[in-house]
Structure 1
């Protein structure tokens, strides 16, 4: 991350700095096990833990500064920033930190395929740019701010994933990141027990637009009937992708080669490309098309797109094919949804 002073951090979160001293912070963490010398430890209260119980351990492990809620008793003279809510302060800090970087930022949400699309997009963009991406599925109100805070001056573009369980969650994440490009992969039935209908899921996913300006670009799966219905309804420029012909980024002549991967042709507004994905499953074509749409928005060439696309073969425990005792297993066990399990069966 870009180094920040304790005073700057305090101002960013509208906090109260106690024992003021010019401390340089080079890392921010909520986990005492990952602290390095010169770190800021933010004491977050979760469902099953409270970081305030680990302040003494944080100091021992190298934290130079702690951020705690008002009223917290500290073990001795510890440089600290007091705030009303440390979780909200984490989001505020990430939001202000994001403003320090005039870089294109893409954000991805959807019912399934978010992480795969994020990884595939990052691989494509890496053929030209130094890319920062959110770690694993760091896609909530804790993980996403922490990912933002790992950006540095070397990064030329950033890709973040946004998840949700209900309303007003993605809007919070979008306001933190202020994406230039937003991607919605699809609308399934994940979290329908909380939201009641796919129309409500659409409403929740569209919160990703709340942190964008009208100059942004929205990339949507045009093969999804609810998303395709948004044509000409959004204030931002909109690009649709899919395997149905009437798309801005259209895949055709798809040829699955089993475990080897998938060959396909892609027609965009500027190119007609023959491409290959070194991963099984036609569903991966949709994830790739989202990445291609973003890549063309960022002026990448056909050769760069090909190179980046072929560099990523997939992730462990996400439709990975494994063999044991002569038997092949499809491992899609990481946070699988009905739609992703169906895709695994289709492979």
Structure 2
């Protein structure tokens, strides 16, 4: 992370400096005292089963240069760092991440949907890494904590950011998109994940389509032409739309799909002006659709079909992760 002054941080998060030098700087972000580095800003996050304020003293003793808190904390008497008071530390983390992201002229691609998010995100990154320096979120860093922490890894070498965005309820995708400011949005599909929280598939579609509302007017959305909510989502966005699927009429088509005994599929990628055979290294016809979504993003960005093929064929799922639905 590039250095940020304490004054700058206070302004970004709407906080009040309770202690410390406003001209001092921080060069890292931490939400976990087990991995804190000297000079980091420690955000004392609160959850249903934890309260980071209980570890503020430990963070200070471990070398934190500043603390962002929402309640009074006990600190070592001789600790020279800064204390910034905010109303909500989790919200403040997102505010600072959004401010930090705005310092970089990068294209952000946001990926959401009921299933296939991780594979699609990884496939997009695998293709785009052939041409650009790409930052992506790792592991399960896809929520209101993980997305900000990913953005803090931005440096001047990055040209593209690919972010998976997850949600459990209304408003969460909108918040993540407001922080990351994507210009390209991908919605893989609308399924039944989290229906116990949202009540209906239509409500899930509403939650996922929050991404569309945060795209700029000249932004682009990538949609599954075979999804039952395709028309609903398409009609909610007035910008550029690119569709994918195995059906005629999609902008990016997968045809002649064949799977071997191990379940690994070969298909013909068909776009305006060309076609190419792709052999996926992971099993499942569902991954053909994930690959089509990635190809749609790449074609939108002007990537050659041969580069797309090589990126998809070189794709690897993160360790310990295999999506089967």
What TM-score results when the alignment is normalised by the length of structure 1?
0.88
Deviations 1:280-299 (A, max 9, x none): 11110111111111111222
8 Å CA contact retained: 1:123, 1:309? yes
**1:23 alignment partner in structure 2:** 24
Counterpart position of 1:46 = 47
| Structure 2: distance between partners of 1:258 and 1:229 | 37
Alignment of 1:203-218 (within 5 A): 203-218=206-221
Q: Per-residue CA shift, 1:29-66, capped at 9, x if unaligned?
A: 10011111221111101111111111111122221111
Are 1:228 and 1:240, in contact at CA under 8 Å, matched by a contact in 2? no
Q: Does the CA-based 8 Å contact 2:141-2:150 persist in structure 1?
A: yes
Matched residue pairs, number?
Answer: 322
Distance change in 2, residues 1:185/1:16 (3 Å): same
What does residue range 70-109 of structure 1 map to in structure 2 within 5 Å?
A: 70-76=71-77, 77=79, 78-109=81-112
Q: How does 1:180-259 map to 2 (within 5 A)?
A: 180-259=183-262
5+ long unaligned stretches in structure 1: 320-331, 333-339
1:164 paired to 2:167:
yes
**3-state DSSP class of the match of 1:225?**
coil
CA distance, structure 1, for counterparts of residue 20 and residue 319 of structure 2: 46
**The residue matched to 2:45 in structure 1 has which SS?**
coil
Q: Which residue of 2 aligns with 1:12?
A: 12
What's the counterpart of residue 337 of structure 1? none
CA contact (8 A) 2:139 2:318 kept: no
**Alignment RMSD:** 1.7
Match of 1:60 in 2: 61
**Partner in structure 2 of residue 299 of structure 1:** 302
The runs of 5 or more residues in structure 2 that have no matched partner are none
Query: Within 2, Cα distance between the matches of 1:117 and 1:198?
Result: 21
Asked if 2 retains the 8 angstrom alpha-carbon contact of 1:130 and 1:154, the reply is yes
Q: 1:45 to 1:250 in 2, by over 3 A?
A: same
Contact 2:98 2:179 in 1 (8 A): yes
Contact 1:174 1:210 in 2 (8 A): no
